[in-house]
Structure 1
Amino acid sequence: MLSLLLMASMATTPDLPDAAWRNGLDWRGTHVSMQRDAGGAYRLKGSSGQRVIPASPLGAATASALFDGLYAMAQDDLKQDSVEAIRDGAFDHGEPIPCLCFETGQKWPYVWTRDLSYAIDLGLWRFDPARSRNGLEFKLSEVRVPSAPQGLYVMQDTGSGGSWPISTDRIVWFLGARHLLDDAGFAAKVRQALTDTLAQDRQYAFDPALGLYRGETSFLDWREQTYPAWTADNVRFIAQSFALSTNVLHYQALQMAATLADKHGDSDAAAYRAQAAALKTAINQHFWRADRGLYMSYIGGDGLPVEAYDLLGTSLAITSGVADRARAREALSHYPTWPAGSPVIWPERADQPIYHNRAIWPFVSAYALRAARAVDDPARIAHEIRSVIRGAALAGSNMENYELLTQAVHVDDGALSGPVVNSPRQLWSVAGFLDVAIEGVFGLTGDGRVEPKLPVSLVPALFGDADHIDLQLHDRRITLRRPARLEGNLLVAGTIRQEGNHTVVNLKAIEVPGRPLRTDAPLYAPATPPAPTVEADGDQWRVHSPGKGVLYVNGRRHGAIDGSAAIARTSALPCFRVTHIDSHGVESLPSPEACPGGKSRVAGAWPRSWTAPASGRYRVMLGYTNPHGPINTGITAAVKWLVIDCGEGAPQRLPLAMPHSDGRQQSTWGDFTATAGARCHFHLEDGFNMSYLRHNAHYTGGAGGAAGPLNEADVGELLISPL
């Protein structure tokens, strides 16, 4: 109890950035100092050594040399990330590839779709629009397979199970591209890529039954860190599931498509707008967990609710407008914090090393800051600003990530040590700091409005005894003038005066209702249980699982289970999962499923035939092997259309994905309908995967690249189950 009280005290009364934060800070026995030289350069000293930061013409002028110096350091990091060539061992045999663009970080000298797109959205478009556009264009590709549908597509990078459509967050590309449409040639490419990519995702990743897009969580792509450990060797569950972040990104892309269609007088605008509205409704229906007051990070393909939450998805739901104001405030206030910052996932995994697990990522903190500004939450705004400043100061660079409890760049914890990988001057961390300064402190939003929302608690460090602070950008200067009296908890714009490219804001203090930071959350989730055992017992299924937990049947919560439970037998396919639940009421991640019901197994040569035993809905999948790459990377997830002709109207078409596998496993599934006695004929048609993109002729890290496109699997039995 004493330790819990101490932790609560640390989190609710953090080390406020008072005068001590002007020239440095202290954290867990470490002192960091920042000194400005006469010539405008800065010297940062701490446990990481000394770094001399060159003077920047785009400077901040506040009472805090620490803040001003770190703003200059972010620009220096960005300068080092600005390159004329990039390289990666999996492309062109590691040889340099000419590209006047941004590399991802000191340890990641390449361009990845999600990293670059988030970084541009966090403000890099302000600093170097040419490099931003070049990098984004590098991630576009036409098709190299003549028989496949042609178009201009955003690339999904190498990843789980052989890339898209296991992961579908390539749509984040448009989050960055939306800021760079003043270039007519680039804008035309954006519009074509948006049309083609949305149409392709609608074909292959959209589930009309739930109204959601399938695919892995955005950025959280080391599956064992955030998904059940049993997905390490089989990503079918991930391919079939739905992620909050990826669906919100699709919502924003659909909105963007509607806006651009309106601008060009296209009749497609209404359809895009309707799709966006329907998707917003589906997200709120399926991801909101009312008993927690949080949006779930992902759900199973059958709608299975999962006790997993992530800060990026939550923040995007808030800033995109998917969450209404009441739900946005509730979600942010229920998302836990620790003294060092906000974790990118919660609850943490006790059996996983530090990376996404048990970690703070500055770029995600920057999006959480945007979310806190959207709901006028002074405590959360201050918390995220302090976290990003502290991390950069302690490390002497804008690092990829930090350990959650210490904000260290590495913690020795045996097999769980980490962060496992941690790169200096990580591009989206650099952008995160710049966004914290430009929007978080000075209030300049992405659409050009100056709308400061500065917590009064930050005034002593940033203003000191001065009556104003300044920020210089390429095309404008912003001055914030403090009010004479600080009665309230948030400084907002009182009056705004524009003098050429100089914006002067007279601040006023207001009192806004706020909730305290959540500091009472347990750190870890309970361990994931094994699959339950199921046996027939007369007219019941008897389900066995050791320990206390929750039983799920076909994705729906059935109730508590403590050792065993009985379920009535029906003709429909039953699939059972269990979770464990701890003394805090926190659920584990779900077990593998056990599906004891009968399946029709149809083998033989294609096409294949089957007679429906009864009228109704059926679920179908394929047994297969895809040995064309490791589970964690590659571009050769096999994607096919299963065409079903039961002689009743138009054939039904289902997209099925067969990720890289370690031996025989089952594909993603789809549902179809048939009437009793109907003779249904099944055949496979070619689909689409990332190896079909012309750009991937440069891929030399595995199959489907330089040797030619590859979209194949060894397909075995056809499995059909009644629903």
Structure 2
Amino acid sequence: MNHFYIFLAFITMLFTCSPASNVDEPLVKTTQYAIYKDKVVQGKDTAFVKSGQHIVSNYISPASQTYSNFIKYKFSINEKDNELPVGEDHWVVIEPDMKEAPTVKFGEKPEAPSNIEPKMLPPNYTFTFRVDVSDVLNAFKSKGFFETLDGSRIAESDFKGFYIAGNAEPLSWDFVNLDNKKMKLQPTSNPNIYEITLVLNPYDDKVRDIKEWKQSLALEQAPKFSSDIPLVDAMFNMSMEEAFKTIEPDSTLRTGTKWAGVWTRDVSFSTFLAFAYLYPENAKISLLKKVKRGRIIQDTGSGGAWPISSDRTIWCIAAWEIYKVTGDADWLNTIYPIIKNTLEDDDKTLRNEETNLYCGESSFLDWREQTYPKWMDNKDIFASYNLGTNAIHYQARRILTEIAKIKGDSFEKYETEAESIKKGMNHHFRLPETSFYIQYLYGRNDMIPSQRFEALGNALSILFDVADPEFAEDVIDNAPTTAYGTSCIFPQIPDIPPYHNNAVWPFVQAFWNLAAAKTENDAALTHGIASIYRPAALFLSNYENMVASTGDFKGTEINSDRMLWSIAGNLAMIYRVFLGMSFEIDGLHFDPFVPHAFQGEKTLTNFKYRNAVLDITVKGHGKKITSFLLDGKTMSNAVISHDLVGHHTVEILLQADATSYSHLNAFEN
């Protein structure tokens, strides 16, 4: 695997540029793009920062120019993946002037494609798909139900329709939203044949070459940020505006422009990154929407929900963060039994006493073939042990330990459980031949390690202190980094379309950046911040994901702008990295890390912390605090007490520390 040539560009940039001196010099320069104080340039595409409230971008997705004529698809009953086994799809190569695919029979095993040489399909290509559903309809008539390949029965009275899913826009593998995407087939003159006509490679030639974001909301009660880097100011203002727009009429936090409602993991990761300290009441309401019978609701995953997917305990981390921010005793009383009930259920169902690990699907990586071998079914995924999921289970038990101490209850059991998980993680996920934690253990008769790198799990293991400081540095130092960011997994899985595979997710990048800041790796953090700012500026919104190989927002299986956790990740770069905020029981701690490329003065005003309002200024770069002033007085610790009242100023002076280092393990994707 060849090292990617941006590494030398980064080293040159980090040690030869004077990033604060000239707007014509790039802050960050790679072979793919460059970030300046007032613009982002990627080939012929540029996002110009006119001011902190105005960005103009001429970016147009190149996806329509690379749209393949090799289409994979399968049919569905009632928006379920229930026609063919995982990894088996119908397919068609659309030749010139071809207007329809051959009619296939529902459930019939397709021939495997061979010697396919895909070509580009022209934009706005009208094409028809047909399916013979006679077996399904005959079963309804004779038995009153149809039995799918996994043995599930669909009663005739429950039948909603036939749908199509696939790998090329407007087709999607997002089965649960096929009806919303208008992927329902219609009957033809032959009652056994259903069809749908779609416009493949959709492209709107009326899309303007120049698009812009202008701040439209005053947000007078919100904190205000300013620096000597207009791009950073614009990223803050755009993300703060998008954060406010996520608040629904019922006071919950919307998941994204295209995704209504509250999702456990989305709102929980978002709450930790930003919403606990920006909109704690909305975060509370949203979290409580994901509680039933005094227990946390698990998001859907490969197997439907808990216990195959078992990362619902990320809720505990979000709920605890709100308490540390607000000090709200009533909130603590509310979340204590919910966390305790949930963890007790998990102990009975998920815990393996031999490994000291908890089974279940990868946290957030919940789309089976995107990160698991095709032969693995839901039972196999349930029986596996994932790095990120166990990091969350570990931290949840540490939190329950702390809450029990506050309440004066017995805590030793939870403390012991947490230490057991940590021991199990370091024994099973940390191998001599790898310089980072492995992805998961999997198998049937014997568990074997998947030595693929998983970004979120490694980041959480560093942030939650599963990794000792020396190994944490090794992880950041040696983890593979691609041109457009730290991909969810590495290496990518061949022949699997981008989503979790071959993708960069800004919220994952944000957690990776927090881990890089903790280990004081300037190069990794610089590249990580650039990997969040580049797409947000060019795309004029905080999209959920992008293709790792192209950096484009089009081409992944599902995507949306104004995504809650992407917004939170962008804002965390200001609050948690540049300003270094960390909320603890005793107060607001500061541990900023400003990379060399982003050096300069940064000021946040009107930040509300409990009963205090803070105006905070950070000067310089690096991680070493040389002075910490509260209202002009030197303080011995960089901490604001939880009982501080009134309006105050905080000034932090940084100096590059000789112990900080810069290394980026850049790879070809």
Runs of 5+ in structure 2 lacking a partner?
25-35, 61-210, 632-646
Q: Secondary structure at the match of 1:156?
A: coil
- Does 2:234 align with 1:69? yes
Asked whether the 8 Å contact 1:240–1:300 carries over to 2, the reply is: yes
Partner of 1:364: 508
Of the three residues 384, 391, 395, the one matched with 1:252 is 395
Q: Secondary structure at the match of 1:230?
A: coil
Of the three residues 153, 159, 170, the one matched with 2:295 is 153
Report the CA distance shift for 1:29/1:318 in structure 2 as closer, same or farther (over 3 A). Answer: same
Residue 161 of structure 1 aligns to which amino acid in structure 2? G
Partner of 1:141: 292
Superposition TM-score, scaled by structure 1 size? 0.63
Of the three residues 412, 422, 436, the one matched with 2:559 is 422
Asked whether the 8 Å contact 2:476–2:521 carries over to 1, the reply is: no
For residues 648-687 of structure 1, the aligned pairs below 5 Å read none
For residues 361-510 of structure 1, the aligned pairs below 5 Å read 361-410=505-554, 418-447=555-584, 448-459=588-599, 463=600, 469-470=603-604, 472-474=606-608, 475-482=613-620, 490-499=622-631, 500-510=647-657
Report the CA distance shift for 1:74/1:125 in structure 2 as closer, same or farther (over 3 A). Answer: same
- Tell me, in whole angstroms, the C-alpha distance in 1 between the residues paired with 2:615 and 2:488: 33
Per-residue deviation, residues 308-346 of structure 1 (Å, max 9, x unmatched): 221100000000000001111111211111222111111
- Tell me, in whole angstroms, the C-alpha distance in 2 between the residues paired with 1:78 and 1:198: 31
Of the three residues 370, 375, 382, the one matched with 1:230 is 375
Partner of 1:47: 59
Partner of 1:193: 338
- Tell me, in whole angstroms, the C-alpha distance in 2 between the residues paired with 1:339 and 1:70: 21
Partner of 2:225: 60
Residue 43 of structure 2 aligns to which amino acid in structure 1? R
Report the CA distance shift for 1:243/1:14 in structure 2 as closer, same or farther (over 3 A). Answer: farther
**What's the offset of the Cα at 1:471?**
5.1
Of the three residues 115, 124, 148, the one matched with 2:266 is 115
**What's the offset of the Cα at 1:373?**
1.5
Of the three residues 24, 29, 33, the one matched with 2:48 is 33
**What's the offset of the Cα at 1:122?**
0.2
Q: Secondary structure at the match of 1:123?
A: helix
For residues 318-333 of structure 1, the aligned pairs below 5 Å read 318-333=462-477
Runs of 5+ in structure 1 lacking a partner?
85-98, 143-151, 411-417, 483-488, 524-723
Q: Secondary structure at the match of 2:214?
A: strand
- Tell me, in whole angstroms, the C-alpha distance in 1 between the residues paired with 2:457 and 2:626: 32
Percent of aligned positions that are identical: 29
Residue 250 of structure 1 aligns to which amino acid in structure 2? H
Per-residue deviation, residues 499-548 of structure 1 (Å, max 9, x unmatched): 252211122222225352112x453xxxxxxxxxxxxxxxxxxxxxxxxx
**What's the offset of the Cα at 1:167?**
0.6
Asked whether the 8 Å contact 1:41–1:52 carries over to 2, the reply is: yes
Partner of 1:212: 357
Asked whether the 8 Å contact 2:226–2:602 carries over to 1, the reply is: no
Partner of 2:33: none
Asked whether the 8 Å contact 1:53–1:69 carries over to 2, the reply is: no
For residues 534-683 of structure 1, the aligned pairs below 5 Å read none
Asked whether the 8 Å contact 2:462–2:515 carries over to 1, the reply is: yes
Report the CA distance shift for 1:25/1:355 in structure 2 as closer, same or farther (over 3 A). Answer: same
Asked whether the 8 Å contact 1:456–1:491 carries over to 2, the reply is: no
Q: Secondary structure at the match of 1:107?
A: coil
Residue 296 of structure 1 aligns to which amino acid in structure 2? I
Per-residue deviation, residues 359-410 of structure 1 (Å, max 9, x unmatched): 1111111111111111111111111111111121011000101121332112
Residue 363 of structure 1 aligns to which amino acid in structure 2? F
- Tell me, in whole angstroms, the C-alpha distance in 2 between the residues paired with 1:298 and 1:378: 29
Asked whether the 8 Å contact 1:11–1:338 carries over to 2, the reply is: no
Aligned residues: 473
41-50 or 183-192, larger mean C-alpha shift: 41-50
Residue 450 of structure 1 aligns to which amino acid in structure 2? F
Asked whether the 8 Å contact 2:497–2:557 carries over to 1, the reply is: yes
Partner of 1:168: 310
Per-residue deviation, residues 219-248 of structure 1 (Å, max 9, x unmatched): 0001111100223xx221111000111111
Q: Secondary structure at the match of 1:445?
A: strand
Asked whether the 8 Å contact 2:290–2:297 carries over to 1, the reply is: yes
Report the CA distance shift for 1:509/1:294 in structure 2 as closer, same or farther (over 3 A). Answer: closer
Asked whether the 8 Å contact 2:542–2:561 carries over to 1, the reply is: yes
**What's the offset of the Cα at 1:13?**
4.8
Report the CA distance shift for 1:332/1:6 in structure 2 as closer, same or farther (over 3 A). Answer: closer
- Tell me, in whole angstroms, the C-alpha distance in 1 between the residues paired with 2:458 and 2:648: 35
Per-residue deviation, residues 144-197 of structure 1 (Å, max 9, x unmatched): xxxxxxxx1000122222211101000100111012223333322210011111
Partner of 2:257: 106
Per-residue deviation, residues 612-643 of structure 1 (Å, max 9, x unmatched): xxxxxxxxxxxxxxxxxxxxxxxxxxxxxxxx
Report the CA distance shift for 1:368/1:24 in structure 2 as closer, same or farther (over 3 A). Answer: same
Asked whether the 8 Å contact 1:247–1:283 carries over to 2, the reply is: yes
Per-residue deviation, residues 186-224 of structure 1 (Å, max 9, x unmatched): 322210011111100000011111111000000000111
- Tell me, in whole angstroms, the C-alpha distance in 1 between the residues paired with 2:557 and 2:668: 23
- Tell me, in whole angstroms, the C-alpha distance in 1 between the residues paired with 2:402 and 2:276: 20
- Tell me, in whole angstroms, the C-alpha distance in 2 between the residues paired with 1:249 and 1:443: 22
- Tell me, in whole angstroms, the C-alpha distance in 2 between the residues paired with 1:167 and 1:390: 32
Q: Secondary structure at the match of 1:101?
A: coil
Asked whether the 8 Å contact 1:10–1:339 carries over to 2, the reply is: no
Report the CA distance shift for 1:513/1:78 in structure 2 as closer, same or farther (over 3 A). Answer: closer
Partner of 1:551: none
Report the CA distance shift for 1:185/1:8 in structure 2 as closer, same or farther (over 3 A). Answer: closer
Q: Secondary structure at the match of 1:449?
A: strand
- Tell me, in whole angstroms, the C-alpha distance in 2 between the residues paired with 1:238 and 1:27: 40
- Tell me, in whole angstroms, the C-alpha distance in 2 between the residues paired with 1:43 and 1:160: 39
Report the CA distance shift for 1:516/1:508 in structure 2 as closer, same or farther (over 3 A). Answer: closer
Report the CA distance shift for 1:337/1:5 in structure 2 as closer, same or farther (over 3 A). Answer: closer
- Tell me, in whole angstroms, the C-alpha distance in 1 between the residues paired with 2:214 and 2:279: 23
Of the three residues 294, 319, 325, the one matched with 1:177 is 319
Residue 298 of structure 1 aligns to which amino acid in structure 2? Y
CA RMSD of aligned residues (A): 2.1
Of the three residues 507, 512, 520, the one matched with 2:659 is 512
Of the three residues 407, 413, 417, the one matched with 1:264 is 407
- Tell me, in whole angstroms, the C-alpha distance in 1 between the residues paired with 2:602 and 2:416: 46
Partner of 2:431: 289
Superposition TM-score, scaled by structure 2 size? 0.68
- Tell me, in whole angstroms, the C-alpha distance in 1 between the residues paired with 2:437 and 2:302: 24
Residue 384 of structure 2 aligns to which amino acid in structure 1? S
Asked whether the 8 Å contact 2:545–2:559 carries over to 1, the reply is: yes
- Tell me, in whole angstroms, the C-alpha distance in 1 between the residues paired with 2:319 and 2:4: 46
Report the CA distance shift for 1:62/1:353 in structure 2 as closer, same or farther (over 3 A). Answer: same
Q: Secondary structure at the match of 1:510?
A: coil
Report the CA distance shift for 1:5/1:200 in structure 2 as closer, same or farther (over 3 A). Answer: closer
Q: Secondary structure at the match of 1:446?
A: strand
- Tell me, in whole angstroms, the C-alpha distance in 1 between the residues paired with 2:350 and 2:13: 44
Per-residue deviation, residues 631-680 of structure 1 (Å, max 9, x unmatched): xxxxxxxxxxxxxxxxxxxxxxxxxxxxxxxxxxxxxxxxxxxxxxxxxx
Residue 614 of structure 2 aligns to which amino acid in structure 1? R
Report the CA distance shift for 1:200/1:408 in structure 2 as closer, same or farther (over 3 A). Answer: same
Partner of 2:99: none
Asked whether the 8 Å contact 2:49–2:231 carries over to 1, the reply is: yes
Partner of 1:637: none
- Does 2:250 align with 1:82? no
- Does 2:441 align with 1:299? yes
